[in-house]
Amino acid sequence: MIKANNVCVHFPKEQGNFIFRKEYQQILHDVSFTVEKGECLGILGESGSGKSTLGRVMCSLLKPFKGSMEIDGLDLYNSKESLAPGTLAVVFQDYTTSVNTRFTVRDIINESFIVLKRRTGETIDVNAECIKLLELVGLNEDFLYRYPHQLSGGQLQRVCIARAIAVKPQIILFDEAISSLDAHTQVQIMDLLKEIKAMYGFTYVFITHDLPSVTYLCDRVLFLYKGVVEEILPVAQISEAKSEYAQKLLHSILDIKHN
């Protein structure tokens, strides 16, 4: 489903008085991994580890200077073909800036229906389908014409999840999608994501800095440290992690539990 091959990303450094010489800071170093259909891969790393940069590469937003990113056999950056619109949907961390504040909930979800119609040509009863999706994510018809400022953080993130589902994607990428929510709401959203994944057979990529959420939701975990893949292993075997960085994260969680 997803295959990353030796992905490298660098950005120009600020040059000061240097005019002719360019220097670069490398963010991702030969990152390789696969995600199977129907799987949830957690990409775990601290701030500055490069995980959101990797997410941008997967979303066709940032071309690597080396390596390739394939989705369903299509090389995103080295092919004349383009990925079909809506194949991959994204749910971002900052739900307040990922929606148009002048849009109602109906308008927000309808953004995906516009993409879906372009891809499939199907006729969509927007109101009826919006209500179905709202009910799926634990809201109801009363929310249809509310604006973002009239919703709690958890409610607005549920709307963003509904928008992602509406496009009928193969893959949903969650970029720190629950980190801004309180602990109780985080668990509610993760339970919702589990139910939706089982219902539709979606493939998930779950980018986060939070190890407990990975163990709760994901099938496998990729430890990313300073742009390098330290280790990839099944969540069920996470206690067997060998890399120093992975062990450090595990021990920090154990210390918190013991305290």
Domains of the chain by start residue, with CATH: 2-258 (3.40.50.300)
User: b vs e for 39-59, b when ≥16 Cβ sit within 10 Å of the residue's Cβ?
Assistant: bbbbbbbeeebbbbbbbbbbb
**Res 38: pLDDT:** 95
Q: What does pLDDT average to over the chain?
A: 90
The answer to whether 206 and 232 have CB atoms below 8 angstroms apart is no
pLDDT digits (tens, 9 = 90+) for 124-166: 999 999 999 999 999 999 999 999 999 999 999 999 999 999 9
Looking at the predicted structure, is the pLDDT value of residue 258 above 60? Answer: no
Strands (E), the chain: 2-12, 24-35, 40-44, 66-71, 74-75, 88-91, 171-175, 203-208, 220-225, 228-234
Angle, alpha carbons 149-154-156 (nearest 5°): 40
Task: Give the pLDDT mean for 235-258.
Answer: 80
Helix (H, G, I), strand (E, B) or coil at 31: strand
Looking at the predicted structure, is the pLDDT value of residue 255 above 60? Answer: no
Q: Phi then psi for 177, rounded to 5 degrees? A: -70, -15
pLDDT digits (tens, 9 = 90+) for 81-113: 888 888 999 998 887 788 999 999 999 999 999
**Res 41: pLDDT:** 98
Looking at the predicted structure, is the pLDDT value of residue 256 above 50? Answer: no
Place 14 in a pLDDT band, splitting at 50, 70 and 90: low
Looking at the predicted structure, is the pLDDT value of residue 204 above 90? Answer: yes
Spatial separation of the C-alpha atoms in residues 249 and 224, rounded to whole Å: 12
Looking at the predicted structure, is the pLDDT value of residue 18 above 80? Answer: no
**Res 259: pLDDT:** 43
What percentage of the chain carries pLDDT values higher than 90? 72
Residue 237 tokens read as 């075997």
Spatial separation of the C-alpha atoms in residues 64 and 58, rounded to whole Å: 10
